[in-house]
Chains A and B, each alone.
Chain A
């Protein structure tokens, strides 16, 4: 069966030159060149935050270019000379030229059926009308939907409600939907992140079929083995810059990992003295088990920074949330200063001097419509209350914290939604540190923050360790993990793949564990 539109192989379908993209003052992509050819699988490889998703959004018209150009081969032409520069390039014009993107996040409506979702906005109507209204051609849509689902070797029925499907099945529906649009260029943003190995294999078989039909496939992944197995060429980007475009057959997986992460550590990171080996333990987690995962154990010394690295979805946040009582743990054995402690909820964690700074500062860290002062004191209210709240002490502490953490609030009466990401983050830090915790868990402390504020936060971390605080830092920014941590725990699929120390703390080694090329065997 033929999928997509048949095009001779090797024809340049999209030629992107010097793509730049910035959001406000933050530059995300700096000059990417990319040529997408028919009958080729083109992988895009890069770390979290390197700009991969932004790149494919530019290619598929979901984001506007800041500068650069995109040329596309017209539909009816097979002549390389016809490649046409596109001055209007948006989602509509892209789809009109059969350039289809499958997003990393699903765009499906749970309440509708599979077929209804596949034809959403492009519903098929019956040929006759009733009282001037043409009715939906349900059976026709179901038929087409089931055709594409069969192609994917899936038993999903077109009449199934999307809400009842598993995450992997939803992904397949997205893929079937994209296939039903006859893609000439099919772009997949991390399609296998939620698929099982078998489902991934079926998907790869389909992708290879599409390729032999002349479809150009672009796919994002940071799973090196997938790229080796599937892609013809790979464009590697790092921090928004193009490292290069390589033939996959000429590249080993190790080389790929090195190219993806290889860079110098800047002076951004303060040096944090390694705690002496005899230093007191701040906390010992001898068992922490979430439903469905193996038990994890680690120790944390006073004055130490323990980094948790891993790819998106590796389960770092879930593990820490389970530790502080924000999520159910199946088994949790934690000792502080040799005493076993019980943490049922975040309040218990707080009374044991443990604090957790969420990575989702807008969704779970701060009340966006409330003032900075309201946000600041909420976690430490007991300190400002003897029967009744003492507004004076509260205000004093607030002003001191604004100064100490350099939170810049222009309008004290306004909601914090108006603060910049950096100021919001510093306010969140001020809020969660007001109780003077000794064990601090930072989850993505610098995501979406300018470089200046990043430096401030890193220096703050260093100061905290001088005071004897123990710090756990969860980050997708490899630089950050390496620049700050004394030891690095690497997680993969909810499991602890290994804990690295000293010389082993480098990009390549961490990536090997994170990507599953290497695994430490637990000591016990």
Chain B
């Protein structure tokens, strides 16, 4: 991973906010709190890694939060039904996990096909699918909550609450995905084509790049990431409702932007996104631990950080040009 003046910004911000946390409350550094921060940021982080691909390709995906809720609901219903005929809880969970991944990929494929083949703007397509998934999960839960059978959740919950070397499983998944995403984006032809398509579709066509395929794949990667986030999210509460995953799409986009990925496409930074997701979670956590600023102002502080991040990026951009 190359660090230069342009891409180091989010990491400096992360360190500064971390130091602020240390300064504000000693409870901040407790291993329990740190593990909690990491585990919480992994949901948004994993979704945001997918968003990095879509945004780099010049698209946007607003449907991720609803998609996560819908997939959660489907997983829970599937497991509850399967458990009546299959005795092994592990097998039930495995089938649900496979189903989740399939659904995520399919949802991404649908978004991708609608943007490329039907030539509808990604913003409109995903605004539409966002509404559809949200309403489907509310319908499935009959306006209430879908709960996973306790027997299954007893086993499944270790996916969220368990740890390896003291670090929660979700964090390992987050890290693993980030490494894979980094390699995919920076060390493969696909990654290079992704930058190209986001930078200029026309030049990409004249460079023999299948722009439609690249965009569809970006949406499918996003769908895959959402399904992975869902797989580790479901055991956290063991339930899903119309409120599950609300505003995830905006938090994910915020993490991507804070991380230094250009919203207009053409340039993506996976590790920046990871830092962005951590920053967003850290802010919430620190506000919880201090009385200086009300926790209710969490959104305001996050908003300020997002705007500041973009201002700094633009300044950097100007310096490069002059």
| Interface residue ranges, A against B (CB under 8 Å) | 326, 345-347, 349-350, 356, 358, 363-370, 374, 377-379, 381-382, 385, 387-389, 413-414, 431
Contact of A374 with B183 at beta-carbon distance under 8 Å, contacts A347-B208, A358-B206, A388-B188 already known: no
Complex CA gap A381/B196 in Å reads 12
Tell me how many residues of B have a C-beta within 8 Å of chain A. Answer: 20
Question: Is B210 among interface residues, defined by CB-CB distance under 8 A?
Answer: yes
Interface centre among A374, A381, A382 (most CB of B within 10 A): A381
**By the criterion CB–CB under 8 Å, are A414 and B320 in contact?**
yes
Chain B residues close to A by CB (< 8 Å): 183, 187-189, 192-193, 195-196, 199-200, 202-203, 205-210, 266, 320
Closest chain B residue to A347, Cβ basis: B208
Known contacts A381-B189, A385-B188: A374-B195 contact under CB 8 Å: yes
Q: Which residues of B contact A379 (CB under 8 A)?
A: 207-208
Across the A-B interface, how many residue pairs have beta carbons closer than 8 Å?
61
Asked if residues A345 and B199 are in contact (CB atoms below 8 Å), the reply is: no
| Contact call B210/A345, Cβ cutoff below 8 A | yes
A345-B208, A350-B208, A370-B195 given; 14 more Cβ-contact pairs under 8 Å: A326-B205, A326-B206, A346-B206, A364-B202, A366-B203, A367-B200, A368-B200, A369-B199, A378-B209, A381-B189, A382-B189, A385-B188, A388-B188, A413-B320
Chain B interface main SS type: helix
Task: Check if B192 sits within 8 Å of A389, measured CB to CB.
Answer: yes
Task: Say whether A389 contacts B188, CB under 8 Å.
Answer: yes
A334, B199: Cα distance in complex, Å = 33
Q: How far apart are the CA atoms of A387 and B183 in the complex, in Å?
A: 11
Q: A388-B183, A388-B187, A389-B189 are contacts. A378–B205 as well, Cβ < 8 Å? A: no
Docked pose: A381 CA to B210 CA in angstroms: 14
CB distance from B185 to the nearest CB of A (A): 11
Please determine whether B206 and A365 come into contact, CB atoms closer than 8 angstroms.
yes
Chain B residues with CB below 8 A from A349, complex form: 208
CA distance A326 to B208 in the complex (A): 9
Taking CB atoms, residues of chain A closer than 8 Å to B195 are 370, 374
Residue contact B210 to A365, C-beta cutoff 8 Å: no
Distance A441 CA – B32 CA, assembled complex (angstroms): 65
Are A378 and B199 in contact, with the CB atoms below 8 A?
no
Q: A363 near B183 (CB under 8 angstroms)?
A: no
B266 touches A369 (CB 8 A): yes
Q: Cβ of A378 and Cβ of B183 under 8 Å apart?
A: no
CB <8 Å contact, A385 and B202: no
How many Å from the CB of A65 to the closest CB on chain B? 31
Give min CB distance, B177 to chain A, whole Å. 18
B-side contacts of A382, CB under 8 Å: 189
Interfacial chain B residues near A358, Cβ < 8 Å: 206
